Amino acid sequence: MSITCDVSYKSLNKFSEELCGDKVEILKTEDSDILILADGMGSGVKANILSTLTSKILGTMFLNGATLEECVGTIVDTLPICSERQVAYSTFTILQVFHSGDAYLVEYDNPGCIFIRDGIVVSIPKNERVIADKKINEYRFRVKIGDAFLIMSDGTIHAGVGDLLNFGWEWKDIAAYALKEYKKTISAARLASNVCEACNELYGNRPGDDTTVSCMRIIDRKPVYLMTGPAKDRKDDERMVHDFMAGDEDVKRIVSGGTSANVVSRVLGRKLDVSLDYADPDIPPIAFMDGIELVTEGVLTLTRTLHLIRQYATPDAISEEFFKELDKPNGASMAAKMIIEDCTEVDMFVGLAVNEAYQNPNLPIDLGLRQNLTGQLKTAIEKIGKPVRITYY
């Protein structure tokens, strides 16, 4: 079995603090995905330093094959001693999922991982070990497509303490809420954001503690093919379209650009129907063609798509408002949503024919050469953890 991981997180700073005391590391190796959440003691700068040191040490050592004992020992020996409490303290959780389906979970003093499988919350067995006087819970298991894991800092279970809830948001209630949201969301980012925003509401939008929810979902491979621009040599149009239409049945396809859409229509002999509905006055309407998931205008739409993907790459910018923008029925949002939430890898088929309209020096710089725009798209998509290949024609 070869699986793919969709990973994201959302954090809230303690009210009035500029830095978050929680730190998330998302790492990829040749054969696995690693998610690390560290929660430093206290809040603000001190907690941020503790959690950053912890997550970086764990990430670096895990990537280099260190044992859990070596990792914990290094953390104990490295973290500075708190002058008030006379302890070096940062809690942490590590989840490593191998592409083979094997998985490894390590928990130290954070709220327990929420494990969702087949529509229910699965209990994680207790298998405690004592390392450097610290009780560590370990769990080795196999994952399968559809599994979801939520890893949290203790700001989640403190939400609402003494205000809306006497004893905070209990773990079982968070798990029940996460399960409900899991059933209606399609990405790790949306699930993590929804649970974190619920915590924020319980805090009355004034979090009393740093709060982080990170999520990993086990998903199928979901390739997306994006074609934009006609080939430099018209003789290559047919080869370009055939390459674009090749691939498995699970490939989703986007054609961006009116000329590109006409080329595909001509080569495949399929009718192109342009919508007359301007869902957004700033974005040209989409079109429809059999066998193509999305047909959009070119540079204007791709520029807005690039903006949304870049926004998603900044976890602090992910919010309910962002997902409302992503759900809008315009070409840019639809393309961004497909790439962000319903995609594991992207193949871009880019024609190098020059469109003279885009060489006008009076146009904004974002309307530069298509090759430059697709290069920026490649960088942005790779930043959110999805591999990109570009073929030029």
pLDDT at 162: 60
Give the model's confidence band at 86: pLDDT under 50 very low, under 70 low, under 90 confident, else very high: low
List domains and CATH numbers for the chain: 4-219 (3.60.40.10), 223-392 (no CATH)
Two tokens at 5? 């991981």
Closest CA to 223 of 245, 243, 252, 255: 252
Give the model's confidence band at 79: pLDDT under 50 very low, under 70 low, under 90 confident, else very high: confident
For residue 30, give the H/E element and its range.
none
pLDDT at 133: 80
83 has a pLDDT exceeding 70? no
185 has a pLDDT exceeding 60? yes
Two tokens at 87? 């302890």
Give the model's confidence band at 81: pLDDT under 50 very low, under 70 low, under 90 confident, else very high: low
- Mean pLDDT across the stretch 1-8? 84
Does this model's pTM top 0.75?
Answer: yes
Give the model's confidence band at 383: pLDDT under 50 very low, under 70 low, under 90 confident, else very high: very high
Q: Could you tell me what percent of the chain has a pLDDT over 70? A: 92
What is the separation of C-alpha 61 from the centre of its chain, rounded to a whole number of angstroms? 24
- Mean pLDDT across the stretch 261-279? 91
One-letter-per-residue 3-state SS of 134-160:
EEEEEEEEECCCCCEEEEECCHHHHCC
pLDDT at 358: 52
pLDDT for 36-71, tens place per residue?
Answer: 999 988 888 888 988 999 999 999 998 888 888 888
> By the 8 A CB rule, do 79 and 53 touch?
yes
> By the 8 A CB rule, do 116 and 148 touch?
yes
pLDDT at 1: 58
87 has a pLDDT exceeding 60? no
Q: Which long-range contacts (CB under 8 A, 24 or more apart) does 233-236 make?
A: 233/393, 236/393
Give the model's confidence band at 368: pLDDT under 50 very low, under 70 low, under 90 confident, else very high: very low
Q: Which of 103-117, 151-165, 200-214 has the lowest mean pLDDT?
A: 151-165
pLDDT at 184: 85
Q: Which of 177-181, 356-360, 379-383 has the lowest mean pLDDT?
A: 356-360
User: Higher confidence at residue 359 or residue 97?
Assistant: 97
pLDDT for 134-168, tens place per residue?
Answer: 889 999 999 999 999 999 999 999 987 766 565 67
pLDDT at 366: 40
pLDDT for 307-345, tens place per residue?
Answer: 999 999 887 778 888 999 999 999 999 999 999 999 999
Q: Which whole-number Å values give the CA distances from 233 to 260, 264, 304, 389, 392, in the listed order?
A: 13, 15, 28, 21, 11
Say how many CA atoms lie within 13 Å of 57 toward its Cβ.
Answer: 24
Alpha helices in the chain (DSSP H): 44-63, 68-78, 155-158, 171-182, 188-202, 237-245, 258-268, 299-312, 320-326, 331-341, 370-383
What value does the mean pLDDT of the chain take?
89
pLDDT at 367: 40
